């Protein structure tokens, strides 16, 4: 039941029921007044909180915009550049959003706060003033009426008439005030419905506009977001391969640390303890120094450095070496010592101590002492016990393997990524490179499954005494992948391929044509060009020296292989035009933003994950999956990716497992 209407006729009767109706109307307006005051207070708090949120968001955006990722190595891939730039993109997006929020807050003040406060003061404030006047007139009228009624009838007639006239005047005035007050009450009761709600509608329209603008910003951001998801997937995939190679190198160094000591034909370096003689009665002391010996100039640079003193680097002292003689233990009760005769200090002999026997021998060898030692090195082919050669037998094996793979397993999921059992792979390769067994037809033989053949082909390529793309051209192949436009990269790689020996180029051409065919079936086998680059990058290219810095270039090896696969027809068929580009010195400029966007746009996002494979089977076409779906599948499997992203063979006990976890990026914008 709502408020009862106040009839004008009741103003003349002024009944108790009429007064109750007026009180109900007044109570309702008081409640409205309190509501507006509370709403105004909450609105102020909302505006202040939003301002604080805006300040925090802007500070957060500024923090994002000012941070820069450092990278290991001398260059970044295009994917890494885009990831690095993403923080600036996020910062710009937040700043734009905050500008819209500030505009919204200004609109809220104008469209909600001021109109509500104006209605409260002008309308509800007027009612309160009218109520006081009405109550005053009521009290005045009924007081005069009581006086009139209490007047003695014995008064003179003129006095009585004058009193009647005064009360009648006051009655008319009171009734007019009553009419005005009733009219005002009901007017404001009706007015409040639109005067209060209309500003709220404007407020919500402002809110909706803000969120709509956020939606529009999100739509504009969507293209960049999807491209960045691909960049992240590519970088994650390359990280897994790089991490596996680094761990493998670390394991080899742990097993034979002396074979990986950093030696150089130019210099030798490491820690030595140098004996410093002091006048009696102090005797002598041994000071730890980091020493670098330049062999050709015979100069020894010594820097005082002690990890226990907070790692402060002292001054550098340089001396010229005349000779180096081992110090027997019967002459000095310390091991691993040798004497250095210093040219620029005639008559001065510097006694130093190496850290170990092996370290002592290496220092003696570097300085021309009496106990030289040789450096033991191993090659990958000897380590694996396989005598792989790039000869007719090897070429026959490559052709035989390619025909078998394309005939029997071109659509196998994870082709070249799912490894065969190690013992079977070794047996097949030993059989195929034996001249007496080169007539085995792998495409017709059921004795060897496809994953064993793919693993044997990769093992053969890795076991060559020199990688297929040669040590000599390694740095030249890597260089264009680190910068330049996509066109200049292709041209540089094209020129370099034609510098390879004829046999190497022939085998590489056969392999790239085959891998291009594999990539054409990527909807079935999930092996995109980028995935094949991850697998074959370190197989076809590797530096002569195993170092972490060299492994950091693994991602650029992948890019070179991707270029070879995508443009194999041009690269291996056409003769390069040397006048267009010099492969020895490509222009190392970053690709334009537009070229990166177009390149990223043309690549689907694919993740090799058993959960995602189930989705693929359900929808029928893997390329239609959204970036969010594929990333979700990938993120769930990150913890089990370490071995599957590596190009090395998986352990024999895991090799037959069909659900090999790990994420494969589908595309790269790095061409």
Query: Is 114's pLDDT higher than 70?
Result: yes
Asked whether the beta carbons of 398 and 511 are under 8 A apart, the reply is yes
pTM, entire model:
0.56
Mind listing the pLDDT tens digit for each residue in 480-524? 888 888 899 999 999 999 999 999 999 999 999 999 999 999 999
Lowest mean pLDDT across 63-67, 309-313, 426-430, 623-627: 623-627
Task: With cut-offs at 50, 70 and 90, classify the pLDDT of residue 283.
Answer: low
Mind listing the pLDDT tens digit for each residue in 122-148? 888 888 898 999 999 899 888 988 888
At residue 469, the pLDDT reads: 93
C-alpha closest to that of 325 among 349, 292, 290: 349
End-to-end CA distance of the chain: 75
Task: With cut-offs at 50, 70 and 90, classify the pLDDT of residue 620.
Answer: very low
Task: Name the residue ranges covered by the structural domains of the chain.
Answer: 8-247, 267-367, 390-459, 464-579
At residue 637, the pLDDT reads: 35
Asked whether the beta carbons of 545 and 604 are under 8 A apart, the reply is no
At residue 35, the pLDDT reads: 92
283: left (phi > 0), else alpha (psi -120 to 50), else beta? left
Asked whether the beta carbons of 67 and 87 are under 8 A apart, the reply is yes
Class of domain 390-459 (CATH, top level): mainly alpha
At residue 609, the pLDDT reads: 42
Task: With cut-offs at 50, 70 and 90, classify the pLDDT of residue 374.
Answer: very low
Tell me the backbone φ, ψ of residue 431, rounded to 5 degrees.
Answer: -70, -45
Most confident of 75-79, 247-251, 463-467, 655-659: 463-467
At residue 581, the pLDDT reads: 47
Torsion of CA 642, 228, 529, 646, to 10 degrees: -10
Query: Is 240's pLDDT higher than 90?
Result: no
Pairwise CA distance, residues 23 & 336, whole Å: 107
Query: Is 304's pLDDT higher than 80?
Result: yes
Task: With cut-offs at 50, 70 and 90, classify the pLDDT of residue 325.
Answer: confident
Query: Is 615's pLDDT higher than 60?
Result: no
Mind listing the pLDDT tens digit for each residue in 545-564? 777 777 788 888 889 999 99
For the residues 586-598, what does the mean pLDDT come to?
43
625: left (phi > 0), else alpha (psi -120 to 50), else beta? beta
Burial of 629 (0-12, 13-18, 19+ CB in 10 A): middle
Give Cβ neighbours of residue 501 (< 8 Å, ≥ 6 apart): 470
> 390-459: same fold as 8-247?
no
Mind listing the pLDDT tens digit for each residue in 117-126? 999 988 888 8
For the residues 6-11, what does the mean pLDDT come to?
85
At residue 580, the pLDDT reads: 54
Mind listing the pLDDT tens digit for each residue in 444-467? 777 889 999 999 999 999 889 899
Whether the bond between 502 and the residue before it is cis, its omega within 30 degrees of 0, is no
CATH architecture of 464-579: Orthogonal Bundle (1.10)
C-alpha closest to that of 268 among 364, 363, 371: 363
Tell me the backbone φ, ψ of residue 438, rounded to 5 degrees.
Answer: -80, 0
Query: Is 206's pLDDT higher than 60?
Result: yes
For the residues 595-613, what does the mean pLDDT come to?
39
Mean pLDDT for the chain overall:
78
Tell me the backbone φ, ψ of residue 289, rounded to 5 degrees.
Answer: -135, 145
Count helices and strands (H / E) in the chain: 22, 6
CATH architecture of 267-367: Roll (2.30)
Lowest mean pLDDT across 191-205, 286-300, 589-603: 589-603
Query: Is 661's pLDDT higher than 60?
Result: no
Pairwise CA distance, residues 322 & 328, whole Å: 19
For 586, the 3-state DSSP assignment is: coil
At residue 434, the pLDDT reads: 67
Q: What is the fold of 8-247?
A: Substrate Binding Domain Of Dnak; Chain:A; Domain 2 (1.20.1270)
Query: Is 360's pLDDT higher than 90?
Result: no
At residue 169, the pLDDT reads: 92
Query: Is 16's pLDDT higher than 50?
Result: yes
% of the chain residues with pLDDT over 70: 79
Give Cβ neighbours of residue 72 (< 8 Å, ≥ 6 apart): 549, 552
Handedness of CA 119, 124, 130, 136 (dihedral sign): negative
At residue 631, the pLDDT reads: 33
């Amino acid at each position: 039941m709502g408020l009862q209407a106040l009839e004008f006729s009741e103003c003349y009767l002024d009944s108790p029921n009429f007064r109750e109706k007026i009180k109900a109307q007044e109570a309702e307006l008081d409640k409205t007044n309190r509501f507006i005051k509370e709403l105004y207070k909450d609105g102020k708090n909302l505006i202040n909180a939003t301002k604080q949120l805006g300040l925090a968001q802007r500070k957060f955006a500024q923090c994002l915009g000012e941070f820069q990722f450092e990278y290991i190595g001398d260059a970044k891939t295009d994917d890494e550049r885009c990831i690095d730039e993403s923080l600036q993109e996020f910062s710009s997006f937040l700043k734009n959003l905050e500008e819209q929020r500030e505009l919204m807050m200004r609109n809220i003040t104008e469209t909600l706060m001021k109109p509500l406060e104006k209605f409260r003061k002008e309308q509800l404030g007027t009612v309160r003033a009218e109520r006081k006047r009405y109550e005053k007139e009521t009290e005045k009228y009924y007081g005069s009426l009581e006086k009139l009624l209490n007047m003695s009838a014995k008064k003179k007639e003129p006095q009585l008439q004058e009193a009647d006239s005064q009360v009648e005047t006051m009655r008319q005035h009171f009734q007019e005030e009553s009419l005005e007050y009733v009219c005002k009450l009901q007017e404001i009761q009706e007015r409040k419905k639109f005067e209060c709600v209309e500003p709220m509608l404007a407020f919500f329209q402002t809110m909706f506009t803000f969120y709509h603008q956020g939606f529009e910003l999100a739509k504009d951001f969507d293209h960049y977001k999807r491209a960045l998801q691909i960049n992240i997937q590519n970088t994650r995939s390359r990280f897994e391969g790089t991490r596996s190679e680094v761990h493998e190198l670390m394991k080899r160094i742990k097993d034979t640390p002396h074979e990986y000591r950093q030696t150089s034909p130019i210099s030798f370096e490491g820690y030595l303890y140098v004996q410093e003689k002091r006048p009696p009665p102090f005797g002598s002391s041994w000071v730890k120094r980091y020493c670098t010996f330049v062999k050709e100039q015979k100069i020894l640079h010594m820097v005082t450095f002690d990890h226990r003193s907070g790692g402060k680097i002292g001054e550098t002292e340089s001396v010229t070496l005349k000779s180096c003689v081992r110090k027997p233990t019967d002459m000095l009760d310390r091991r691993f010592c040798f004497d250095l005769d210093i040219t620029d200090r005639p008559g001065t002999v510097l006694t130093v101590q190496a850290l170990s026997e092996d370290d002592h021998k290496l220092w003696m060898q570097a300085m021309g002492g009496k106990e030289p030692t040789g450096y033991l090195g191993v090659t990958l082919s000897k380590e694996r016990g396989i005598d792989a050669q790039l000869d007719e037998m090897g070429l026959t094996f490559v052709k035989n393997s390619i025909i078998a793979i394309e005939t029997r397993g071109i659509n196998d999921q994870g082709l070249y990524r799912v490894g065969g059992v190690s013992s079977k792979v070794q047996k097949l390769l030993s059989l195929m490179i034996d001249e007496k067994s080169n007539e085995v037809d792998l495409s017709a033989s059921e004795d060897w499954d496809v994953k064993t053949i793919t693993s044997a082909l990769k093992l053969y390529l890795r076991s060559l005494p020199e990688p297929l793309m040669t040590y000599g051209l390694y740095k030249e192949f890597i260089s264009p992948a680190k910068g330049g436009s996509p066109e200049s990269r292709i041209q540089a790689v094209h020129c370099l391929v034609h510098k390879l020996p004829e046999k190497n180029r022939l085998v590489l051409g056969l392999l790239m044509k085959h891998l291009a065919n594999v990539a054409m079936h990527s909807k079935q086998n999930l092996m995109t060009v980028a995935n094949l680059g991850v697998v074959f990058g370190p197989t076809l290219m590797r530096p002569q020296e195993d170092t972490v810095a060299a492994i950091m270039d693994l991602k650029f090896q992948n890019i070179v292989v991707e270029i070879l696969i995508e443009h194999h027809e041009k690269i291996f068929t056409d003769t390069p035009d040397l006048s267009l580009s010099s492969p020895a010195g490509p222009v190392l400029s970053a690709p334009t933003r537009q070229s990166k966007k177009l390149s990223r746009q043309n690549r689907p996002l694919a993740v090799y994950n058993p959960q995602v494979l189930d989705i693929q089977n359900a929808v029928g076409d893997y390329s239609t999956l959204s970036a969010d779906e594929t990333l979700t599948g990938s993120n769930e499997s990150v913890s089990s990716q370490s071995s599957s992203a590596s190009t090395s063979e998986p352990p024999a006990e895991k090799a037959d497992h069909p659900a090999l976890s790990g994420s494969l990026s589908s595309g790269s914008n790095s061409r």
